[in-house]
Amino acid sequence: MPRVIHCCWTDLTAILKLFAQASATWDKFRKERDFHRMHHKRVAQEKNKLIHDMQILKKHYSMVSSTHVTAAMLTANARPNTGSCSGQYVRDPWGRQHFGCE
């Protein structure tokens, strides 16, 4: 009877050791999976943010470029071309100020 108990005890310790190794391996795989999952989520979030920013910039650029074209056309039609230099600060259609001829 003591021999049977000793064999069972050694089997139990071997099984517990094997279980601890399997548990450690499982934890390592779980941590690696979570790391890659979080990396993927972060990359997807950054991608979505960049797409959103690009959409905003495209919308802003289309509004700005149409405004500049309209302002340039209005300014060109409103100013008579006299061919003389006034020697004062002049604003061009894009709002920049410079010294020179109109």
Q: Give the mean pLDDT of the chain.
A: 82
pLDDT at 94: 66
Distance of CA 9 to the CA centre of its chain: 58
pLDDT at 62: 85
Domains of the chain by residue range? 2-100
Is residue 64 within 8 A of residue 93, CB to CB? The reply is no
What tens digit of pLDDT does each residue of 19-63 get?
A: 999 999 999 999 999 999 999 999 999 999 999 999 999 998 888
Higher pLDDT, 23 or 96: 23
pLDDT at 102: 46
Is residue 98 within 8 A of residue 92, CB to CB? The reply is yes
Region of 21 please: left (phi>0), alpha (psi -120 to 50) or beta.
Answer: alpha
The pTM of this model reads 0.48
